Structure 1
Amino acid sequence: MAISIYNDFSDYMMFKNIKKVDVIDFKYKNTVIDIPEELIIKQFGAIYEVHEKCMGFNGYLRNRLNNNTGKTIEEYKKSIKKLNVDIGNIKINGPQNSFEEIIIKYGEKVINRGEECIREVNGSNYLEIITRSMRRSEICLGNTDFQNLSRRDFIYVVDFKNCSYNMVEMDCFPLLSWLKRKGAKLNFCKLAKEFCYIEGLDVNSERFLIALISYPHEFMKCCNRYRAGKRMWHEDKFSQRIVKALVQDGDPLF
């Protein structure tokens, strides 16, 4: 049996009748907090259709498709360890600025929350989720927000560059996490359950998603930027940003 050859995975996606477009108009882009639940569930349907079309891909790509399975969890674990080290160093040397004072004040609580999220991930039969993903050759679009993916008469996608081998849950998590951090007033546990129902996934996947959405993403990201010396902002701006991060991360869902 001949193996189909494609330059990029996007070529295969278009072969499967997914339409490449330059832009998708989305009326809620400046008022994310008002996005209705029904629209998110409709987006889940579009995500599922993408998964159905690309799952089990066995063609040949001249430009290799990355395998990001488990990458996010490992990055989250590393962030926790690095923040632990940061706090230890600040305690030894004393805080050098207002940003580090905030790290001392809130950092250990954030670490405890992050560690609890990882325990919830491990308790969701995480290794079985990875095994299922690899067995089925699951592929994620990577960017499933409303300005990159839309379902009307066809499925429309603006950018395929984030496509990778990954657990299908990872096409839901960034979308719901982003909405939560933007302050959308939604029942995220209900939405995680709805996504899993559409995808035919079990309660372990629900638990996995809720754990990831609960992770203190914004706080960790701000600390990682500061540590890396990426002085994108003045010291006062860093302090303002990390205080904002505490608000954006909100409360855990479990």
Structure 2
Amino acid sequence: MKFLTIEEYLKNRGITILKNKEKVIAKQLNEGEVYFQLNLINKIHKILREYPSNFIPSIQSTIGEDYEQIKVLQKRVNRYLEVGYFPGKIEEKVENILNLSNLAVTQIEKSDYLSIFRRAMDNKEITLGYCDDKNLNYNKGIIIYDLKGIAYNFVESDYGKFLLKIKRRIKIINYNEAIEFILTQEGLDNNSKKYLNGYISFPLETLKTLQKYKEGKKQWNEETFYYKFMKAYEFDNSITLL
């Protein structure tokens, strides 16, 4: 049997791969567009699920990396706080946001995370990695712009990263209803619900802002940093499913 790369397989399934795309500008999304994208993610998962198992070597595995990355970020920011790195006027808020991150991680751990891990391995689940409309789109057929994120991982990962990423791009959406929609589409159980609740509630924007400030990734003066921090802090506190 001829070996097919994942790109060749997707093309054979009618997926258009456009690698040399023009930069897509992120726009505000409405609720209908979010659900359209969730449905599109489900469609691509169904196609990826049928990728023949004898072609496995062509795909990397990133199972569990998303969760490990947020735990590492949480520990780093906690360590920075313990040594008194952040300005005193925000220390209490940093403590609050770390408490929220602890609640989110605890919720993920309550999901029987290892059972999700095992299911994904047993089913050889494949994820796209980048699932917003800048990479996964539809125009008379499914279009994918970048395949570098494709990996063996549990399907919840695509949905969690998508909803976490677009939180700034949609003002009003019932995340509980969106998660129920995902569970129905993918045939997932309550463990997946707990995982997604925790992952979406993780205060990623605030912790990333704190890390950038500590590591000098952005040349912010204290006033700019405070503005960036407060904006992220208020945003992350506005959305929690815990």
The answer to whether the superposition gives a TM-score over 0.5 is yes
Structure 1 position 11, deviation (Å):
2.9
Q: Which shifted more, 145-154 or 187-196?
A: 145-154
Distance 1:196 1:119 in 2: 21
Residues 3-152 of structure 1: matches in 2 within 5 Å? 4-6=3-5, 9-21=6-18, 22-23=20-21, 29-32=26-29, 35=30, 37-55=31-49, 57=51, 58-60=53-55, 64-90=58-84, 100-152=87-139
Q: Could you say which residue in structure 2 is the equivalent of 1:157? A: 144
Superposed CA RMSD in Å reads 2.4
Q: 2:207 aligns with which of 220, 232, 238?
A: 220
Q: Percent of counterpart pairs with the same letter?
A: 26
The reply on whether 1:251 has 2:239 as its aligned counterpart is: yes
Give a deviation string over 1:143-185, Cα, whole Å, max 9, x none: 1112221234321112112111111111111221223234521
Q: Could you say which residue in structure 2 is the equivalent of 1:194? A: 181
Q: Could you say which residue in structure 1 is the equivalent of 2:155? A: 168
Change (3 A) 1:30 1:46: closer
Distance 1:25 1:196 in 2: 32
Distance 1:102 1:47 in 2: 42
Q: Which runs of 5+ in 1 are unaligned?
A: none
- Paired AA for residue 73 in structure 2: S
Give a deviation string over 1:31-66, Cα, whole Å, max 9, x none: 33xx1x23322222211121111126324478x533
SS in 2 for 1:172: helix
| Contact 1:183/1:248, CA 8 A, preserved across alignment | no
SS in 2 for 1:124: coil
| Contact 2:127/2:158, CA 8 A, preserved across alignment | yes
Q: How many residues align?
A: 239
Distance 1:145 1:107 in 2: 29
